[in-house]
Structure 1
Amino acid sequence: MQSFLRATRALVVFALSASVVAAPLVVNVRSYGAAGDGQADDSASLQRAIEALNAAGGGELYFPAGTYLHSEEITVSGHVKVYGTGSASVLKALAPARAALVFMNATQCGAEDLRFVTEAKTRLHEQNSAALVMDHAENCFIRNISIEGSASVGILIANSHGVAISGNHIEDTLADGIHVVNGSADVIVENNSASNTGDDSFSAVAYASWPKQTDNVVISGNTSISSHARGVACIGASHCGIFNNTIRNPRGHGIAVAYESTYDTYRPFGARLKGNRIATVNPSKGTNSVLVSGARDVEMESTAIDGGNPVLVSDSSGIVVRNLVVNEQVGAPILERGHVQMKIEGVSANGNALAGGVSIVRKIQ
């Protein structure tokens, strides 16, 4: 549990230090020619506003109410905050491949009270096709953002640490809703909602080709609705904290803590799951409410499952399942495949406490 608190401590230090800094320069994009009328391409004006901010050594980039069209990615760095008035401040991408607001090499940065709109029909994989990106960012936040559509992920966190992502809504992306990757650490993803994401709603991923394992990502209090893949995924990352999330009707697994050889990930370890609720009507074949695969030292506590398919634990060690509650399922609530070392402490199914043996666990090939 101590590792899960490091991110919180880092963000508290950031908040306290920010409170004693002198009032920052505020750059209004309208002052640099941005029309915000939903007709003109404001890319050149936005670049001039960013250059003014850079010349001043950082500050705040402000978008008053309006619809700002842009055909290029918007990249900021240093100590900078980008904000608007809420849903009335719209950044609309004209080119899905260059849609992103990118925080690059930024410290004590943030984005809040903005709406991002992208009309994308083809899934892309480049970083700049996301709606909002933090790359090599430290002690930053993303909050009260609305993302409607994206050719790839909604929010991408890469090579960053000490990032808090809270109170955002993401829908209709062609890839993940929020994706934390490439050695990022001490990241909190809390109280966000994601619907109809083209892949996972919320994910922490660590590829073995990267020198550092993504670590200590806390995914807490979020809501996932109708993801095209998993609701919450900890793929190759270490010390994932997955707490009090609500997952409804995922097309893939509800929650996955797994090693994926196809994508050459690390093997996950140290994950803690508690208080999650997964409800699935008409589950897809080959999916599970919770999947633990190729992992070690994983504890799952107070998980409530309504409908869907059983929990599957595969080729994993040091697994603890505690206080599992399953309803609207038939058969053993836990499936076991391969070499598994697992301890079970309390399972109930359809209102009845299960005593053990084959009533709880069924081995499969």
Structure 2
Amino acid sequence: MRRHGTEHDGRRRALLRAGLTALLGAIAPQAGAGTSRDGVRVDVRAHGARGDGRHDDTAAFQSAIDALPASGGTVVVAAGDYRIDPQRSVRLRSRMHLAMDAGTRLLATPNPAARAYVLSLIGVDDVEVSGGRIVGDRDTHLGATGEWGHGVMVRGSSSVTLRDLHISRCWGDGISIGGDKAAGGRVTPSSDVLIANVRCIGNRRQGLTIGRSRRVRVRDCEFADTGGTLPGCGIDIEPDAGDSARDAVISNCFIHGNQGAGVQIYKRSASVVLRGCTIEANRGHGVLVIGASDCTVVDNRIRRNALGGLSLRPGSDGVVVSLNEFVANGPARARGGKDGLRARQLSVAAEARAVRVDDDNRYSE
């Protein structure tokens, strides 16, 4: 077994980190790459939006979006409080950028619906949403059922960038990414999605759900204080039956204080990389892997999670665990001795297959 803390170990970690950074940077989608949008700019206020927090601005937003030419363009939203009806939703179209001022807030109108979305992206391509805040209606929701009141809902869409956003207090997820199921049952997964510098705080079901998808990149984000209905995770990679979530990279994120796991990677998920994140003080596990395959958990700080640091459940296959720092995870009653310390920080089910846990992981109280 390798001894930790040596000069050799330090050089090896540095080389591994540099190699991973270069590899993941090379495969990450580039925001705006290949865009074919026109230079047309449309202001929502020119289409009747008031931004006073009282009047319903949903129709004005939709009018501005629909006014873009076929070649696309930018819809501009100045600072203000815009009341949006999630039951109608603001429906984005292909080849557009919804550019919100940092002082913009989209406020969800209280409603009783089980399914309702402030922004909806269904079957679109080359869409960017940036700036501003989305505030859900979980504190004023008029119903008691359902868990799908999302801030941003992405289904069957490609080349999507969500950046520099703050999404909070939604009845369901801050962001939900998944496939679009057409007549006849054919599923089109979302693909080439970039989520950067986004904060999802205090949402009811998940901070972020990654469902049926290909090539999702999440970087420099925060997912915190999720809870109210299960699973209550910061990030849940959990595709519905009928398709998979493949090739997702979560990097340099802060994931903390969630009611469930910090990150859950569920069945039908494959080729998931969790790298360089701080995952702490979640009431479930820091990272929970259930039946997923070909996953890499590398160079993360996994601390003070109530049920344990990392748990690999039956059906998990081909998981690599390397360079992580595990600190004070698991219930206090499980502590005691070197074996007990590691067991509550990292647990691997006997039925998990092809798991590699490197000696360079660190464990401490």
So what's the TM-score if we normalise by structure 1?
A: 0.78
Q: Which residue pairs with 1:240 in the alignment?
A: 272
Tell me the amino acid that sits aligned with residue 246 of structure 2.
D
Deviation at residue 106 of structure 1 after TM alignment: 1.5
Distance verdict in 2 for CA 1:327–1:85, change over 3 Å: farther
Is this contact kept in 1: 2:263–2:287, CA < 8 A? yes
Structure 2 distance, partners of 1:80, 1:327, is 57
Structure 2 distance, partners of 1:232, 1:349, is 19
Give a deviation string over 1:118-163, Cα, whole Å, max 9, x none.
Answer: 231456333xx20012212111210000112100000111121101
Structure 2 distance, partners of 1:327, 1:123, is 44
Q: Which residue pairs with 1:181 in the alignment?
A: 211
Q: Which residue pairs with 1:51 in the alignment?
A: 66
Is 1:70 equivalent to 2:90 in the alignment?
no
Is 1:120 equivalent to 2:134 in the alignment?
no
Distance verdict in 2 for CA 1:250–1:100, change over 3 Å: same
Is 1:171 equivalent to 2:201 in the alignment?
yes
Distance verdict in 2 for CA 1:337–1:132, change over 3 Å: closer
Distance verdict in 2 for CA 1:327–1:250, change over 3 Å: farther
Structure 2 distance, partners of 1:247, 1:327, is 23
Distance verdict in 2 for CA 1:77–1:8, change over 3 Å: farther
Q: Which residue pairs with 1:193 in the alignment?
A: 222
Is 1:220 equivalent to 2:251 in the alignment?
yes
Worse overlay, 213-222 or 287-296? 287-296
Deviation at residue 329 of structure 1 after TM alignment: 8.1
Q: Which residue pairs with 1:289 in the alignment?
A: 309
Q: Which residue pairs with 2:327 in the alignment?
A: 306
Q: Which residue pairs with 1:102 in the alignment?
A: 120
Structure 1 distance, partners of 2:300, 2:28, is 26
Q: Which residue pairs with 1:333 in the alignment?
A: 342
Q: Which residue pairs with 1:361 in the alignment?
A: none
Matches within 5 A, 1:25-40: 25-40=40-55
Structure 2 distance, partners of 1:302, 1:73, is 43
The DSSP-based 3-state class of the residue aligned with 2:61 is helix
Distance verdict in 2 for CA 1:327–1:64, change over 3 Å: farther
Q: Which residue pairs with 1:359 in the alignment?
A: none
Matches within 5 A, 1:127-276: 129-159=149-179, 160-182=190-212, 184-198=213-227, 199-207=232-240, 209-210=241-242, 212-236=243-267, 237-259=269-291, 268-276=292-300
Is this contact kept in 2: 1:104–1:137, CA < 8 A? yes
Give a deviation string over 1:169-208, Cα, whole Å, max 9, x none.
Answer: 11110011111102x010001110122012111121123x
Deviation at residue 328 of structure 1 after TM alignment: 10
Give a deviation string over 1:66-111, Cα, whole Å, max 9, x none.
Answer: 110022311112111111111x111101035434201122211110
Structure 2 distance, partners of 1:344, 1:330, is 15
Is this contact kept in 1: 2:37–2:72, CA < 8 A? no
Deviation at residue 303 of structure 1 after TM alignment: 1.3
Distance verdict in 2 for CA 1:331–1:117, change over 3 Å: same
Deviation at residue 52 of structure 1 after TM alignment: 1.2
Tell me the amino acid that sits aligned with residue 238 of structure 1.
A
The DSSP-based 3-state class of the residue aligned with 1:331 is helix
Give a deviation string over 1:297-319, Cα, whole Å, max 9, x none.
Answer: 00000111111229xxxxxxxxx
Is this contact kept in 2: 1:309–1:329, CA < 8 A? no
Flag structure 1 segments of 5+ consecutive residues without an equivalent.
260-267, 311-325, 352-365
Structure 2 distance, partners of 1:102, 1:244, is 30
Structure 2 distance, partners of 1:152, 1:69, is 18
The DSSP-based 3-state class of the residue aligned with 1:95 is coil
Q: Which residue pairs with 1:263 in the alignment?
A: none
Structure 1 distance, partners of 2:28, 2:358, is 35
Tell me the amino acid that sits aligned with residue 298 of structure 2.
K
The DSSP-based 3-state class of the residue aligned with 1:45 is helix
Structure 2 distance, partners of 1:330, 1:269, is 26
Structure 2 distance, partners of 1:307, 1:277, is 11
Tell me the amino acid that sits aligned with residue 288 of structure 2.
A
Tell me the amino acid that sits aligned with residue 105 of structure 2.
V
Cα RMSD for the two superposed structures: 2.7
Structure 1 distance, partners of 2:76, 2:108, is 18
Tell me the amino acid that sits aligned with residue 128 of structure 2.
G
Structure 1 distance, partners of 2:117, 2:357, is 47
Is this contact kept in 2: 1:34–1:46, CA < 8 A? yes
Deviation at residue 330 of structure 1 after TM alignment: 7.5
Is this contact kept in 2: 1:327–1:349, CA < 8 A? no
The DSSP-based 3-state class of the residue aligned with 1:77 is coil
Tell me the amino acid that sits aligned with residue 163 of structure 1.
V
Tell me the amino acid that sits aligned with residue 147 of structure 2.
H
Q: Figure out how many residues of one structure are paired with residues of the other and give that number.
A: 313
So what's the TM-score if we normalise by structure 2?
A: 0.78
Is this contact kept in 1: 2:326–2:362, CA < 8 A? no
Distance verdict in 2 for CA 1:35–1:302, change over 3 Å: same
